[in-house]
Amino acid sequence: MNISSHHSGYDETTPVLIAGGSLIGLSTSLFLSRQGIPSLLVERHAGTAIHPRLASMTARSMEIFRAAGVEAAIRQVEPPFSLDSTVPLVESLVGQEVDHYMDDFSAYFTNASPVQGSLIAQDVLEPALRAQVEQAGANLRYGAELIGFEQDEEGVTATVRELSSGTTRQV
């Protein structure tokens, strides 16, 4: 199938459709872009994560981001981090500390890797990744959701809805 042609019945075509624009979707789009593979990413939220969720990346994760050329962008926004760090377990953001969720940071600082891990939280990481993905030329659609798809011998036909207008597109 020639992915650059415009097939009748489709509003647009793409070799890869990524449903979900958080850490995994953005990373996938970035890695594809670095290999010259176009993608369309759709995310139902209006923007990147607003909550920390993921709170760290191991040295191996940072090696992968280094290979993709985005380690420097991540390092610019990450918080300070040392072996003396801990991840507290608390009853609430303003409540008592109950325990430590993590005391061993050996996966973040290891002599086996030329790269250090990071204690960057997802709400800080995603905007930095999004900027890198946009700079790489990927097609990102926030405020859009995948509402259905069908596969046949030609490929996959997806229905994407723009949330603000309710308009649907066949991709």
pLDDT (0 to 100) of residue 167: 97
pLDDT (0 to 100) of residue 7: 62
Q: Please state which architecture CATH assigns to domain 1-50+137-171.
A: 3-Layer(bba) Sandwich (3.50)
**What is the per-residue DSSP string for 111-169?**
TT-SS--B---HHHHHHHHHHHHHHTT-EEEETEEEEEEEEETTEEEEEEEETTT--EE
Q: What angle do CA 101, 105, 106 make, to 5 degrees?
A: 140
pLDDT (0 to 100) of residue 74: 96
pLDDT (0 to 100) of residue 20: 95
Residues of the chain with pLDDT under 50: 1-6
pLDDT by residue (tens digit) across 54-69?
A: 878 888 999 999 999 9
pLDDT (0 to 100) of residue 51: 87
CB count, 10 Å around CB of 6?
A: 10
- Domain positions in the chain: 1-50+137-171, 55-120
The Cα 101–Cα 88 span in angstroms is 5
**What is the per-residue DSSP string for 79-96?**
PP--TT--EEEESSTTS-
For the entire predicted model, the pTM comes to: 0.83
